[in-house]
């Protein structure tokens, strides 16, 4: 299939989507030939795909430096960042080196941030192996690690050379991870494309059954939608904020229960239900459309109720949200299915009631 393009002037890059791309040496050659290549992956993905990717890169003329990190959200930390940078320095990786992020969203965020700061910035490739990473976190150049006070609080915008999304890698994805990835697929429909919502309602069973054609369509349409938004607002100064639909609540859930207890997609799924409820209470979304959001989230096998943290604890955790301005919380609301907007004029009690309704 023809690659998509994220159009950002001299930072533009392709998104390659298809099956059996991980071992495509011709694809890698244009990015890694005659370079040191730090392949960052984790101890779950490495036994599955590291050898295959390493062989392809070496055939393409790259010298591979494999770097294995721990699995899970806890790996998005200073200590892991230091581990990656130390390994690159030990291997004498220069500024002409390339970092390859082989794994899910955690690996992509961490490896991308390492590339952004190593010797003031080196190029990197996103090679996502989870559905969530293929449809969302690998596209757009957001890289980060977590802080004890909030998720993704330390990071940089650093666009990749390319994204290589091999849907065949989803065959080995655990069921829970597949469902978590569907949360971000649903999100793109809810905020940007009513027709895609209808397609998802008709095809959610095929996606859960890992139908290859359905998955390729879902990945491609999600990347198309996100690429359009990123091209219009690379650094999230306006429009791009809508891609965080459900995330203000979701990040609070992740931090409140401890990173790793809930998968990111699970927290976002519940966050979208809370945000749809808030949209209805704020008068921007019909109740029947909020019910469609909740029903599709449930059909994807994702949670529709958040943990029973005190409502005030949710508020406390949301105060560090990056969309806040002037000390006030701002939320992404739906103005109908397929349309979203940033709002900062909501009464706190309206937010509290929305949390309580889905807690």
Active centre residues (catalytic): 120, 142, 184, 226, 236, 240, 244, 247, 251, 264
SS3 content of the chain, % helix, strand, coil (to 5): 55, 20, 30
1, with CB counted inside 10 A (0-12, 13-18, 19+), is exposed
Q: State the alpha helices, DSSP H only, in the chain.
A: 25-32, 51-59, 78-90, 105-117, 131-132, 175-192, 194-208, 212-232, 247-257, 264-281, 287-299, 311-318, 348-357
- For residue 225, give both structure tokens: 């939608």
- For residue 59, give both structure tokens: 């055939």
How far is Cα 258 from Cα 177, in angstroms, rounded to an integer?
Answer: 18
92: left (phi over 0), alpha (psi -120 to 50) or beta: left
Residue 16 DSSP code: E
- For residue 318, give both structure tokens: 């949301």
SS3 234: coil
Phi and psi for 307 in degrees, rounded to 5?
-65, 155
| Nearest of 88, 160, 77 to residue 119 by alpha carbon | 88
β-strand partners of 39: 66, 100
How far is Cα 3 from Cα 141, in angstroms, rounded to an integer?
Answer: 17
| Nearest of 82, 78, 134 to residue 103 by alpha carbon | 134
């Amino acid at each position: 299939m023809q690659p998509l393009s994220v159009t950002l002037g001299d930072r533009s890059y392709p998104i390659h989507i298809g099956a059996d791309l991980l071992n495509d040496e011709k694809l890698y050659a244009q990015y890694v030939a005659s370079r040191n290549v730090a392949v960052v992956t984790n101890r779950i993905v490495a036994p599955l795909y590291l050898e295959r990717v390493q062989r392809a890169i070496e055939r393409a003329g790259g010298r591979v430096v494999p770097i294995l990190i721990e699995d899970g959200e806890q790996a998005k930390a200073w200590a892991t960042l230091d581990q990656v940078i130390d390994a690159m320095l030990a291997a004498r990786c220069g500024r002409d080196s390339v970092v390859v992020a082989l794994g899910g969203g955690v690996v992509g965020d961490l490896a991308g941030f390492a590339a952004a700061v190593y010797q003031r910035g080196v190029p990197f490739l996103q090679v996502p192996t989870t559905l969530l990473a293929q449809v969302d976190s690998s596209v757009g150049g957001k890289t980060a690690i977590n802080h004890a006070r909030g998720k993704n609080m330390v990071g940089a915008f650093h666009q990749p050379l390319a994204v290589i999304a091999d849907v065949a890698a989803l065959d080995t994805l655990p069921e829970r991870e597949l469902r978590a990835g569907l949360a971000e697929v649903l999100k793109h429909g809810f905020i940007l494309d009513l027709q895609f919502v209808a397609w998802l309602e008709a095809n959610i069973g095929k996606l859960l059954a890992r139908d290859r054609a359905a998955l390729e369509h879902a990945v491609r349409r999600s990347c198309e939608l996100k690429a359009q938004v990123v091209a219009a607002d690379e650094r999230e100064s306006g429009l791009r904020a809508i891609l965080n639909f459900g995330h203000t609540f979701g990040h609070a859930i992740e931090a409140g229960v401890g990173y790793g207890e809930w998968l990111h997609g699970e927290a976002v799924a519940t966050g979208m239900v809370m945000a749809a409820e808030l949209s209805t209470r704020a008068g921007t979304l019909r109740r029947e459309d909020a019910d469609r959001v909740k029903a599709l989230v449930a059909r994807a096998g994702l949670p529709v109720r958040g943990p029973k943290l005190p409502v005030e604890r949710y508020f406390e955790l949301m105060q560090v949200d990056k969309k806040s301005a002037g000390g006030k919380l701002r939320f992404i609301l739906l103005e109908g299915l397929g349309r979203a907007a940033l709002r900062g004029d909501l009464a706190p009690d309206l937010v509290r009631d929305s949390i309580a309704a889905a807690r």
